[in-house]
Amino acid sequence: MEMHLYLSKHKHSTEHEALCKIEERAELMGISIIKVMPIANDDTSYCILEAPDTNSVASFHSLAGIKCEEIQEVLYLEEFPSKEDETELTIRN
């Protein structure tokens, strides 16, 4: 099964914890939770997930009582070096 990265946007609530508790069920659905990002001073959360399709992402959130406002496919995730990594790179050169 081909997997894709998705960014979901939804309201943050106490039900969000339910989403985290069903990680085992996510595995059965073919979904991996990459990151969960609640926004400060807002009731919005974003999740990055690896899933077969948008319907899987919506169904997964629905199991936790969360309705996605938006689901977008992500092309890739890029990690940027931290300041510590940059220092280490400078020292090596």
- CB atoms closer than 10 angstroms to residue 70: 9
Q: For residue range 52-74, what is the model confidence (pLDDT) as tens digits?
A: 999 999 998 888 778 999 999 99
Q: For residue range 4-57, what is the model confidence (pLDDT) as tens digits?
A: 999 999 987 655 566 566 677 787 888 998 998 888 888 899 999 999 999 999
For residue 21, what are the domain limits?
A: 4-92
Number of structural domains found in the chain: 1
**Where residue 55 sits, what CATH number does that domain have?**
3.30.70.3090
Q: 0.85 exceeded by the pTM? A: no
Using pLDDT thresholds of 50, 70 and 90, give the confidence band for residue 88.
low
